Structure formats: structure tokens, C-alpha cells
């Protein structure tokens, strides 16, 4: 019970107590997949990847659900523009998402439901809400949620209905009884493609966005579960509406802990296409390896705003190289494989790492412990220290590559180095040394040094890293 979380619902840090001892059920709002994922999406998925990793490291069994929204106005529009079916578009974008986030070391969730597979459950939930007088059929064919009939509306955003009404941003539809009401079922329009239409007792149409997550979460995790996460931009209205729907239907508290990750800025400005500072994950991976991007994100606590910049990525690369360089200084054969089971949590460094992660997943403080271990490893060359460094790194998804492979691969991707050419020059230098042609050996070493390549001669031969 040492884990403490900042709960957006109470707006304070609370001890974490799961509904079922030893088990955690967590739902995170995933992607609406009409295009490639961007840095903001990566930041959200990274944040909750770290959450589920630490829960597992803390001994919990974790059921982690992260959905895919595969029916939506933007999806329909994009599919029509491209002249393909909705399923073709969403399959293509789901595959691209999986490839991109795998490069960042983001683990798959336990379940990844697609909204289109749960339309039946959504309609059942809408029926319950209608039966309780919380939903009504509008003249335009939509089914809407009657916000003012749910007593607790506004508790997540911390705003009263009158405050929300004063700041109303949603366009008023003729079919709504109140501007704050939101759609549960959208009536089909004649011009929409047939694969965007689902049959129901309300007529052909499709579910509203908010009802999708309520239905998928309840179907896979039950009417009550432990943690619900997502980006800060979803706190209102999406998560507020999820609470209204789910608690309105069940009469039970929906979620105990609400977690929200902070916004992404680019060079201290909000990321947006209009400002020309919008980056997809693939844009970033063209210039930086996935582990560097992951490490960069870990340097900011998940609730804080994250500032994406080339300077920050370069600094992150230098920091990660320092950790790998320390590990590279020990015999890798003797180091062997390490795992969570190798960590003695009573060891002072491990204890500090745990204290940092237990305080609302404070990854910057946890990484500071890794740098302490690297400094000690550089001084002592201790295999025990190296094992602990690698094992703790693994808890947050870093330092699991062979150090030399990372240092060389990172050098190649970052500096455009010709790895094959470097290896050929090292082989030529080895032959020159055998022939006692030390002038040629020195010339090759100097040529490589000019490229930023440092040679290390050892009993196993010559290895290299980027300076």
C-alpha cells in the first residue's frame, strides 16, 4: 500500500487501494485511428505503459484495456476521401500505430477492443439510460443524454452545471433539450457510406464517442474498476460524460482513480498543424532511435507538461549513452540476463528508485537513481551494480539492449555513420598491427577518430563507440 496516485477526481494524492487485493483493472482511452499517431499520442501511451509496468513490478496482476475508436466522423470523412472502406483505413492505421509504438518499447495492453465490435453493448447501455429517464430521442433521430438529470455531473472537471453552461462550447443542435446534452446514438445521414451505419431500435446510425468507452470498459472490466486514464484534454467532456453514462446506468461508482497525463508542447509552444510544429512518431523516429525517444519522455513526470525539442532529444541521447557506456564497461558474458527477480528492493538505490515510482510514478527521480548507479559502476566495475542498473532500467523499459549494439546503432542513426565502412577500417587496422605497420594502424585510428568513432582494444578484439 505504499503506492500513491494523484486522483483527478479528488484533486489530491491518495494511497492506492485496489478493489480486489493484488489485482488492478485499468482502462485508458486509446486512439481514433484515421491518421498516423503523433507525439502527443506517444506521450499518452508512454505514460500508461509506465503505469502498468510499475503496477506489475509492484506485484499486482494487471488487466489493462486500451481501446481503438474505429468509427467516427473523421474516420468516415478520411475513408471517403481516399475511396476505401472504413475497415481498410482503420486496419491500415492500426498496423501503423502498432509499429510506431513498438519502436518506443510500449507494451501491448491486455485487451485492445475496437469500438465497432461493441455496438451491441453500447445499445444495451443506451437502453438502460433511456429506461431510467436519462436519455431521450430527439426529433432529428439522435438519442441524447439529459445531463441535468444526472446529479453528479461536473464532479471530475470540478465545475457546476451553471459554470459549464456559461462556458458552453458545443454547438446547440435543434434536437437537444439543453446545450450541455450530448449524443449517445447518431442517426445516419443519407450521404454517409453504408459501412458507417448500424441497425438499432432507434433506426440506422452509429454510437456517439462517449458511449463507446463506457460500454467497452464495463464489458471488459465490470461496472466498477480501479484506474481510468487518458490525456488531460479528455477530462472534460469525454471522461465527465463517461461517468454520467456509466454511473447513471449502474448506480455505482464507476472508477476509483482518474489519471491524466499532461499536454505536449514543441519548443515551449502548443503542438498544432497550424503552427507547423506538428510531428508524427514516424517523423521523430527518422532522426532518433526509439529508446532515446522513450528515455526523453521518461525525464518528465507524466502529469507535467512535456516539452518536445531537438535539443531535448539530443540531451536525452547523451544521457542514455552515459548509462549504456557504464554497462559497456563490464564483461557482458558475466553480466548475463537480468530480470525483476534480481532486484533486492532493500538495497539503498533500489529503495530510492521504488520510493520515486511509488510517489505518483516520478520517473525523473527514478532515472536520477540510475545515474547514481552508473557513476558507482564506473568507479567500481561491480557486476552487482551493473545487474541492478540494468534490472531497474528494465522496470521502465530501457537499458535492455546489448550496450555495444546500442552505442553503435545509436551512433549510426544519429550521425549517419557507415557501420560497414567502420568495421572494414577496423579489420584493416588489425591487419596493419599484425604486420607491425604501426604508422598505418595509427592513421586508421585517427581517420576513425575524425568521424567521431572511438576504438577500444581488448582481449576479444577491437570494438568501437561514437564519441
Binding site for Zn(2+): which residues?
29, 213, 238, 242
Known binding-site residues for ATP equal 273
With CA atoms as reference, report the closest residue to 388 among 355, 448, 348, 427: 348
Q: Are the beta carbons of 104 and 293 closer than 8 angstroms?
A: yes
Q: For residue 358, how many other CB atoms are within 10 A of its CB?
A: 19
- CA-CA distance, 116 to 209, in Å (whole number)? 11
Q: Beta 135-137 vs 143-145: how paired, if at all?
A: antiparallel
- CA-CA distance, 255 to 26, in Å (whole number)? 9
Cis-peptide into 205, omega within 30 deg: no
Instruction: Report DSSP letters for 344-400, one per residue.
Output: -TTSHHHHHHHHHHHBT--HHHHHHHHHHHHHHHHHH--HHHHHHHHHHHHHTT-S-
Contacts 24+ apart (CB under 8 A), 335-342: 335/383, 335/386, 335/387, 335/390, 338/387, 338/390, 338/391, 338/394, 339/391, 339/394, 340/57, 340/391, 340/394, 340/395, 342/387, 342/388, 342/391
- CA-CA distance, 222 to 215, in Å (whole number)? 10
Backbone angles phi, psi at 28, to 5 degrees: -130, 130
Q: Are the beta carbons of 428 and 420 closer than 8 angstroms?
A: no
Q: Are the beta carbons of 38 and 292 closer than 8 angstroms?
A: no
Known binding-site residues equal 29, 213, 238, 242, 273
Q: Whose grid coordinates read 531497474?
A: 392
Amino acid at each position: 500500500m505504499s503506492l500513491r496516485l494523484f486522483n483527478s477526481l479528488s484533486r489530491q494524492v491518495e494511497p492506492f487501494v485496489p478493489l480486489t487485493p493484488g489485482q488492478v483493472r485499468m482502462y485508458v482511452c486509446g486512439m481514433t485511428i484515421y491518421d498516423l499517431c503523433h507525439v502527443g499520442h506517444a506521450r499518452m501511451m508512454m505514460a500508461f505503459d509506465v503505469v502498468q509496468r510499475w503496477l506489475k513490478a509492484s506485484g499486482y496482476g494487471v488487466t489493462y484495456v486500451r481501446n481503438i475508436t474505429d468509427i467516427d466522423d473523421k474516420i468516415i470523412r478520411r475513408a471517403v476521401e481516399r475511396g476505401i472502406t472504413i475497415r481498410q483505413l482503420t486496419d491500415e492505421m492500426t498496423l501503423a500505430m502498432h509499429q510506431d509504438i513498438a519502436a518506443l518499447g510500449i507494451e501491448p495492453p491486455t485487451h485492445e477492443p475496437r469500438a465497432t465490435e461493441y455496438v451491441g453493448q453500447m445499445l444495451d447501455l443506451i437502453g438502460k439510460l433511456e429506461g431510467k429517464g436519462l436519455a431521450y430521442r430527439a426529433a432529428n433521430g439522435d438519442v441524447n443524454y439529459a445531463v441535468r438529470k444526472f446529479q453528479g455531473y461536473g464532479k471530475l472537471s470540478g465545475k457546476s452545471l451553471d459554470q459549464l453552461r456559461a462556458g458552453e462550447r458545443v454547438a446547440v443542435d435543434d434536437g437537444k433539450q439543453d446545450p450541455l446534452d450530448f449524443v449517445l446514438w447518431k442517426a445516419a445521414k443519407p450521404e454517409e457510406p453504408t459501412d458507417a451505419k448500424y441497425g438499432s431500435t432507434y433506426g440506422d446510425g452509429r454510437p456517439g464517442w462517449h458511449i463507446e468507452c463506457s460500454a467497452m470498459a464495463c464489458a471488459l472490466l465490470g461496472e466498477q474498476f480501479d484506474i481510468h486514464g487518458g490525456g488531460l484534454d479528455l477530462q472534460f467532456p469525454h471522461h465527465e460524460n463517461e461517468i454520467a453514462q456509466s454511473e447513471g446506468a449502474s448506480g455505482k461508482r464507476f472508477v476509483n482513480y482518474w489519471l491524466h497525463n499532461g499536454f505536449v508542447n514543441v519548443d515551449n509552444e502548443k503542438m498544432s498543424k497550424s503552427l507547423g510544429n506538428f510531428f508524427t512518431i514516424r517523423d521523430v523516429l527518422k532522426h532518433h532511435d526509439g529508446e532515446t525517444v522513450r528515455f526523453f519522455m521518461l525525464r518528465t513526470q507524466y502529469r507535467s507538461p512535456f516539452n518536445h525539442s531537438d535539443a531535448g532529444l539530443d540531451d536525452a541521447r547523451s544521457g542514455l549513452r552515459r548509462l549504456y557506456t557504464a554497462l559497456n564497461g563490464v564483461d557482458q558474458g558475466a553480466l548475463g540476463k537480468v530480470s525483476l527477480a534480481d532486484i533486492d528492493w532493500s538495497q539503498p538505490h533500489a529503495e530510492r528508485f521504488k520510493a520515486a515510482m511509488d510517489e505518483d510514478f516520478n520517473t525523473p527521480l527514478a532515472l536520477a537513481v540510475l545515474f547514481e548507479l552508473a557513476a558507482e559502476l564506473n568507479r567500481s566495475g561491480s557486476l552487482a551494480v551493473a545487474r541492478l542498473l540494468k534490472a531497474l532500467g528494465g522496470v521502465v523499459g530501457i537499458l535492455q539492449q546489448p550496450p555495444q549494439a546500442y552505442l553503435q546503432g545509436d551512433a549510426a542513426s544519429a550521425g549517419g555513420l557507415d557501420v560497414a565502412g567502420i568495421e572494414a577500417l577496423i579489420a584493416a587496422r588489425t591487419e596493419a598491427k599484425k604486420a607491425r605497420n604501426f604508422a598505418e594502424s595509427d592513421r586508421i585510428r585517427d581517420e576513425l577518430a575524425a568521424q567521431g568513432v572511438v576504438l577500444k582494444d581488448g582481449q576479444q578484439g577491437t570494438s568501437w563507440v561514437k564519441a
